[in-house]
Homo-oligomer: A and B are copies of this chain.
Amino acid sequence: MTKVTAQLSVSMDGFYAGPQFAGEGDWMDSAESAGFFRVTRWVTDAMAWRERQGFAGGEQDTNSDVVAESFGSAGAYVMGRRMADGGEVPWGEEPPFRAPVFVVTHRPRQPLLRGGGTSFTYVTDGVASAVEQARAAAGGKDVAVAGGGSLVRQVLKAGLLDQLDLHVVPVVLGTGLRLFDADLDLGEKEAIELTPTRVIHAPQVTHIRYEVRGRAPLVLDDRGSGGGPTVTE
């Protein structure tokens, strides 16, 4: 059954990139990109990611398996406009998605067909519509919300997210673009509850998979449910 999933690499203090690029000079030299490349280093080191980009080399390890699993489970993508714009040139004629991508944007645009099965469809009537169109195109596989953080928050806030994979990178950045920010519209003493269903421990990154349970009041007797814990050293 199709799930709506999201994943993001974040620092221990919750940033998926450094502070937002002001638009002067080269993004590649910016503090935003320095933070982004630090938290995604485990991805760019992974053979499964490098293969999709047409790059040689890389590590064939559990991190690479996580990347491969992520590509393999996605039947369609939903993407923010900023990420789609930023990737359009570097991804080239054969982007790594190999599936339909639905870009949430305010600017109407004709669909862009690329090689290897990737297409970009520009959706101007909101994130819920993009998720529905992706679901219809996913062929029973998952709909992957590809980011950035603002889009993941919108999907979470709208109650549309089923699963969140956080790749927690062992670094403190101190400042930057946050995955979780103040625009989730949580009430006082209200929270979003999740359940961790899988943890993968590697020296470079801790992969935690969460099932989203939904909004719940913060009450003292709202006890969590059970299940056996396991230890990995």
Contacts and interface: CB of A to CB of B under 8 A. Distances in A.
Interface string A148-182: 00000000100000000010101111110011101
Contacts of A45: 223
A35 interface: yes
Given A195-B203, A229-B201, A220 B168 contact: no
Contact of A170 (B168, B193, B219): B193
A200 B175 contact: no
Given A180-B174, A189-B18, A227 B203 contact: yes
A226 B77 CA distance: 32
B186 A180 contact: no
A5 to B, nearest CB: 16
Given A38-B191, A200-B232, A233-B198, A13 B171 contact: no
Contacts of A175: 182, 186
Interface residues of A, number: 65
Given A203-B226, A229-B200, A230-B201, A168 B14 contact: no
B206 A12 contact: no
A125 interface: no
B203 A201 contact: no
A22 to B, nearest CB: 12
Contact of A180 (B12, B18, B204): B12
A167 to B, nearest CB: 12
Interface string A32-75: 00110110011001000000000000000111000000000000
Contacts of A11: 191
A196 interface: yes
B170 A200 contact: no
B174 A186 contact: yes
B233 A232 contact: no
Contacts of A174: 180, 182, 184, 186, 190-192
The 9 closest A-B pairs by CB, nearest first: A202-B229, A13-B180, A62-B229, A174-B186, A199-B201, A34-B218, A172-B192, A170-B194, A203-B227
